[in-house]
């Protein structure tokens, strides 16, 4: 295992212990609203602090961007860690056992290492650039499906971008008529990890932030998949609008939804 991936795994496991311990008594979890339909807990912050401390103990000059604690500017800007301490906070708060810790590392602006850790199931998804993707050390590959017929897709509702609800609904309808089913589980990191593992065939969502998708992006690509924006380009880090899956299936998703999307979602 790459030394920096090893540290990411250690950080994710340390945070996972905090989440599991807190999940035993959710009545003690402090919940705040940081924006419209956007919740944060004291556990998010505690877990992110542990992740940050674990990384900086080994790499004190690196930079870190986290969902809850913001940016730590290290002396070496070539190395930037991207952290989501609980992807699926609402699930966590409600006691729904489906959430994950997401950690990615960019080296000179390019994704290099990725970890998505599901502490409930003990599933550790990892990827190193050029070395493939693994689940608990077993090699992952995306689904071989090339057409929408019979597929199971994953998605996330635009609960923070409800002004896009009409366009999203039309995109959902355009895909749903062709698929076997579409899942909405409330954790985009695991949605993308499941694409990498071939558990779902593809995924699409509006308005993700880099800490939601960075680790999943590398996992999908290293598992042989494609990650694009709604226009089929590479602007997803800016727009947050993401489609991923096996290359031919991803193209099929784009063909179905492009005609029904608003102009703003195709930028």
Q: Which of 55, 187, 54 is nearest to 119 (CA)?
A: 187
Residues 6+ apart with CB under 8 A from 82: 64, 65, 66, 102, 103, 104, 105, 106, 210, 211, 214, 215
User: Within a 10 A sphere around the Cβ of 177, how many other Cβ atoms?
Assistant: 9
Q: Which of 125, 65, 120 is nearest to 91 (CA)?
A: 120
Binding residues are 67, 84, 86-87
End-to-end CA gap in the chain: 38
Residues 6+ apart with CB under 8 A from 96: 88, 90, 186
Residues 6+ apart with CB under 8 A from 90: 39, 96, 186
Q: Which of 257, 195, 194 is nearest to 231 (CA)?
A: 257
Binding residues for Mg(2+) are 67, 84, 86-87
């Amino acid at each position: 295992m790459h030394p920096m991936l090893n540290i990411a795994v250690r950080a994710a496991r340390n945070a996972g212990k905090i989440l599991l311990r807190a999940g035993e008594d959710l009545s003690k979890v402090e919940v705040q609203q940081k924006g419209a339909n956007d919740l944060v807990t004291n556990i998010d912050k505690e877990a992110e602090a542990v992740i940050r401390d674990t990384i900086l103990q080994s790499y004190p000059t690196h930079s870190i961007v986290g969902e809850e604690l913001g940016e730590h500017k290290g002396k070496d800007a070539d190395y930037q860690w991207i952290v989501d301490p609980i992807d699926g906070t609402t699930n966590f708060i409600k006691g729904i056992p489906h959430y994950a810790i997401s950690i990615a590392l960019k080296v000179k602006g390019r994704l290099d290492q990725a970890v998505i850790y599901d502490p409930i199931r003990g599933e550790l998804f990892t990827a190193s650039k050029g070395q493939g993707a693994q689940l608990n050390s077993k090699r992952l590959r995306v689904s071989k499906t090339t057409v929408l017929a019979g597929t199971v897709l994953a998605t996330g509702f635009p609960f923070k971008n409800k002004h896009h609800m009409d366009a999203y609904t039309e995109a959902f309808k355009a895909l749903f008529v062709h698929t076997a089913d579409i899942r909405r589980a409330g954790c985009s990191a695991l949605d993308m990890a499941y694409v990498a593992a071939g558990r779902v065939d593809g995924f699409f969502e509006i308005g993700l932030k880099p800490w939601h998708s960075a680790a999943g992006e590398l996992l999908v690509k290293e598992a042989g998949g494609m990650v694009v924006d709604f226009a089929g380009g590479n602007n997803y880090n800016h727009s947050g609008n993401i489609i991923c899956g096996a290359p031919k299936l991803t193209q099929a998703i784009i063909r179905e939804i492009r005609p029904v999307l608003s102009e703003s979602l195709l930028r």
